[in-house]
A and B are shown apart, each in its own frame.
Chain A
Amino acid sequence: MGLLTDPRTGNGKIIKFVLQWEKWLCFFMYIGGIIWTMLLALPVFNDSTYFSENALLPGLVMKECSLEASAKQFHNELIEEMKRYPDKMPYPWLLAKFNQLYLDVYMHNFTLNYPFREQQFTGQNVYGIVRAPRGASTEAIIVSVPYRPISSVNLNTAPSIALLLAFAKCCRKQKYWAKDIIFLVTEHEQLGMQAWLEAYHGVTSGQDGILMSGDLSGRSGSIQAAINLELHGMKIASVDVKVEGLNGQLPNLDLVNLAQDMITKEGIRRTFQRRPDVNVKNKVSKWWYQFNTLISMIVTQATGVPTGNHGLFHRFGIEAITLEGFERSGRGPEVSFYQVGRVVESIVRSLNNLLERFHQSFFFYLLPSTDRYISIGLYMPPLVLIIGGLFIKAFASWIRLQDTGIKVEENENPDTKISQLKQNKVEEFDIASIASEILWSHIIGVSIMSSPKLFTSIGSQLWDLPTEDSIYYGFIVTTVLTMFWPFYLRRPRKSDNVALVCVVASIEVATTLLCVAMHNFSLALLTAIIYVPTALAISPKREINSKFRGLLHVFWILLHPFVVASILVMGYTRLNFPGEPLMSILIKGIQATKHAFVFSVIDSMIYGNWFYNVTVAILLPNWILFWNVINSKIAFDS
């Protein structure tokens, strides 16, 4: 072990190397990381999926349910009922149906106190439980459907409710269930599901007093897995498996594989990110196609917003996916509920087989297609490469700030001259002012994070503005104020102190990104790609490279979290409404931005989505620190 402990082996060399090649190293690491990420979609860099959990025994059971006829009957009745209640859930009908199937039926009431106004919304979920004849209600599987009234803007889910009822009817007759099956119909999209889960687990995920989830009158045991159904028609052309959950959490890969396998087994076209697998000979176009699927997943996951009701289960350690069935658009084969029913049945039967809760296979992965995956071991290195540049930069600046005694060889690199200059100065850092600067910027971040309520109350009381306007304008004001912060403490500071702030800010942003990557890789990746190059370029003001300063100013303003968010939403609007005049897109974009801000704040309050909190409480203060570094006046005392 002497190898590990010899203190003289080349430390100095490494430091010298880093100091000499810092810029190039950072540059190549960034570029290398991005190229590597892009290559992940190549079959060489990923693996084909497989089952880790043997107990699932996928597709080995005799399927006994033929759900088409009963589903059709339920569907016809439901359509009639829905017409009678155009914007409400037909509770009596659902309760009656569950009762007729001899399930244990329960209702769940919940209330939402809208955080920005004195307003209450109520909702009700209906659920029925098939008690397992082979168990003592210690475990449960959930089959859920979000109910959407006719007036809903989302695609209708009446066929999935029909399938749910038909499946419940079939399940009730079987004796082999070892786990209870909970059939759950929720109201108000994700709100109902969140309320039900919070009530089941007796917790509040968001802020207290906003979503009052109440109590459940009937329960089962610990929930092992959940399948959420969103089938939009009685004939299905393709089934999309949705995985992305709240805060970018993903279900166990075994469950995803199980669903994909069963869908293929029944001869249904399977898709991921609404993109079916293609079989192209050309390797480049295949890569490009899979890369696009991968990017689509990364973008979806990065927002931290669940793509379906399944996403809310993940927090509670319940593996869940959504099966979204699309009707035929144009030509192509389509299947009836006979096959779709068999898919659901075989998935639930497999889940019934489970001896342990899902723990094998992967919880962190990316999917470039339905049958290939990229594990965490494969996708983390490129991200570390991208972020690593920041650490190297911080390390190099720190070494330069120290009087280390390592002789930096004389060359034409301007940095080394300065570092030698610095070695002559034997001065202490002004720790107090640096610490107070860092502290204040974070205090500002936290106060902005908790300000939306204040904004709305001011906005609505003084100018009678709607919520989204008050929050939007509030954020604009804070953005402008944070931009002007350096200008009201324009007191010249020593170059060393500014450099130390820069070091601290670099380390902070890099650490934050790595921590975020542990939870939501996609968010960390996108943020790193956007922020790292500019953050690398920031250094204390010097007279030598002042011509780039203007450009740096512009770039860094564009990277203000609120500005980035606005630009992204604008771009998204442009993509969604191609061919519209610029002015109307601008107006639509601003409107969408306003809504996006409100949604992210509300998501944080109701669901405990931390996207908004991390952005405003960590990224924004960090932005302020760098902004101070860019704008600080340096007192040169040569």
Chain B
Amino acid sequence: MRYLIYLVISTLLVYGLPYSTAQDDFFDEELLLKPLASGHVYAYFQFTTLWEAPNNVQTFQHSHLFPRGLGEIIGRHKVDELHISLTEGLWNYEKWGYPVHDAGSGAEIFAWFNKNVSNVNNEWKSLTNALAGLFCASLNFVDSSNSMSPEFSFRPTGIVKEPPNSSYLRYSSLPREIVCTENLTPFKKLLPCDSKRGLATLLNSAYIHNTNYHSLGIHFRSVCRNAGCTKSSLELRQTVSLVYDTLTEATQDWSIRKLFGIGIKGACPLASLSNVYIDMTSNETVHVYQLTPSPNTKVTSFRGGQQQQLAVYDIRTYSNRGMFNIAAIYTTPKTSSVTYPSVLYANRYIIGYGQERGSLVTKLHNNHWQSLDVILLENIPWYLPVYLHTVKVICNGQQIKPLIQRYMPGRERTRPYYLELVLRLPPHSVTKFSIELDYLFLKWQEYPPDANHGFYMGPAVITALLPIARNYTALPLDGSTITSSFNASRNGYLVQLRTESLLISLPTPDFSMPYNVVCLACTAVALAFGPLHNITTKRLVLKNVTRNWKKKLLSFVKRLTKDTKDKTD
């Protein structure tokens, strides 16, 4: 008996040890809660998996904390970097500041492929199809007709060996996509603790989809493992951004239970970090509230000229007393104010009326005292042909010349219109970019169901490096967890604003009974036209046929045989 036990232990030691040393991956779960000045509460979940392994197919054959399904797709399609977001609602940059991850409404996906991918378009198509299956989203509608390779807007955020070549980048957005529980469930299944333990238990679809804005995100990249960056690790960030409206309720008080319908049960046992942060910066300036229970620690972070107060709750120390709840009790009446509007924000809209032509306008607001350089990426679907000569960039009544301009005209059904401008926005200014476009009349099979609903145009992307970090929450490029954003002063703060997606009424045939009648009538007219044309253009002339005796004989024989044939019949 004892011998047997030794045997088991020794085999465990022999076979188990290599595995345990191979499991060099870490999982962190974090939740950031930030009461916004506008009276909303921003909740940001981040589940980070760091895996000290190189990015190749062999790596993804065995996985521990890293989701296997996603890993296989990434390995098979040789993806260097992948960003997916599924969003419902619109982030209000003017009032809410900047989110940790920007996302346009609907589905948005962009990926950098490895340099040794020979046919990027094919890989892209099959990658999006695979992801569509994984997330139950309509990503399979992504193809070359709605994808582009912007040159400046998207740069690799992870480590790169050589200067990036944008031909390995694909970006696409599906603004019509509706995000729902069916996307949240597969998202939760990618987490190591699923939604059984840890912060993921808070992701209840009934509460999450009852918010003013919700966005699921998947962000995969390679990061440096050490300071010298001699080795690389894989980083996967799964994020959920939510904005709750506390002004509609009787009191402005909020708590974990009120926001998510359930308290925090405990940390995920696999997680090395399991924290809740509450941004208290606005406390006692805009709002006045008390947190119960009081936090473990309070952190003061200086970043980009801004001071930030954060309450940190380590779940493991609280959850040993069972389920626990963090509540903010307001002592002042409800307030909604925008003390400091965001440094940079944008609006986009269509002007003109009718179903023939219109004009696309993007308004860029610069509230900073310095001029700002921004990259404006206009993603215009092929059914809205634009006229490049009508591009106008006007600020304070004066035309602004773009510093750099990239344009690739679209092609019907194969390629969208790509326009990327680098603009210098004067200080304290509103700059208006406008371009005229036509509304194309599509083939009748190309109209979606509910054809009269209209067509969507995906958001424009405005990229800028902000000089100050006011209302800024995003993590620094070199950081992986929310903790890395504390005291992370850098030279610039990258934002990638997404504007509104637009609903456009293209000329739509009347898909109804009278339409069918018109089609039928047209067919009848077309049939009648044939004989009419014949009679008017041709004349029947009696022709005298002179036949020689051979032909006469032949016809006589023919007639004879025909007569006998008829008779026999």
Contact = CB atoms under 8 A, between A and B. Distances in A.
A356 B527 contact: no
A316 B500 CA distance: 21
B454 interface: yes
B82 interface: no
Given A202-B359, A356-B451, A136 B530 contact: no
Nearest to A133: B212
B397 interface: no
Interface string B232-269: 00000000000001011000000000000000000000
B532 A138 contact: no
A222 B454 contact: yes
Size category of the B interface is 35 or more
A233 to B, nearest CB: 31
Interface in B349-366: 349-355, 359, 361
| Interface size band for A | 20 to 34
Interface string A1-45: 110110100000000000000000000000000000000000000
Chain A interface SS verdict (over half): loop
Given A4-B532, A138-B503, A359-B510, A201 B450 contact: no
B210 A139 contact: no
A222 B455 CA distance: 11
Interface string B191-219: 00000000000000000001110000000
A209 interface: no
A355 to B, nearest CB: 5
A357 B454 contact: yes
A135 B353 contact: no
B89 interface: yes
Contact of A138 (B354, B361, B502): B502
B248 A316 contact: no
B352 A203 contact: yes
B502 A219 contact: no
B126 interface: no
B18 interface: no
B481 interface: no
Contact of B505 (A1, A5, A172, A357): A357
B245 A133 contact: yes
A359 B532 contact: no
A172 B452 CA distance: 28
A4 B453 contact: no
Contacts of A131: 90, 92, 212
Contact of A203 (B211, B351, B452): B351
Nearest to A317: B353
B39 interface: yes
A84 to B, nearest CB: 26
A173 B248 CA distance: 5
Contact of B349 (A174, A219, A315, A356): A219
B500 A137 contact: yes
A197 to B, nearest CB: 9
A219 B362 CA distance: 12
Contacts of B245: 133
B512 interface: yes
B363 to A, nearest CB: 9
Interface string B469-503: 00000000000000000000000000000001111
Contacts of B508: 359
A86 interface: no
Interface in B81-104: 88-90, 92
A203 B354 CA distance: 12
Given A138-B500, A360-B512, A315 B347 contact: no
Contact of B247 (A102, A203, A315): A102
A136 B90 CA distance: 5
A333 interface: no
B518 interface: no
Contacts of A138: 456, 500-503
B504 interface: yes
B454 A355 contact: no
A7 B245 CA distance: 76
Given A138-B500, A356-B450, A316 B211 contact: no
A5 B453 contact: no
Given A5-B532, A131-B92, A139 B359 contact: no
Contact of A133 (B211, B451, B452, B500): B211
A201 B353 contact: yes
Given A201-B353, A356-B453, A222 B531 contact: no
Nearest to A52: B512
Interface in A212-243: 219, 221-222
A4 B531 contact: yes
Nearest to B209: A134
A202 B532 CA distance: 50
Contact of B351 (A5, A174, A175, A201): A201
Interface string A595-624: 000000000000000000000000000000
A222 B350 contact: yes
Given A133-B245, A355-B450, A359-B452, 6 more contacts: A138-B503, A201-B353, A221-B503, A317-B353, A356-B453, A357-B452
24 contacts: A1-B527, A1-B530, A4-B532, A5-B528, A5-B531, A7-B535, A102-B39, A131-B92, A131-B212, A136-B90, A201-B351, A203-B351, A203-B352, A203-B353, A219-B349, A222-B350, A222-B502, A317-B353, A317-B355, A355-B450, A355-B453, A356-B452, A356-B454, A359-B508
> Which 7 pairs between the two chains have the least Cβ-Cβ distance?
A202-B351, A356-B452, A136-B105, A136-B90, A138-B503, A359-B452, A1-B531
Interface of B: 39, 88-90, 92, 105-106, 175, 210-212, 245, 247-248, 336, 347, 349-355, 359, 361, 450-454, 456, 500-505, 508, 510, 512, 527-528, 530-532, 535
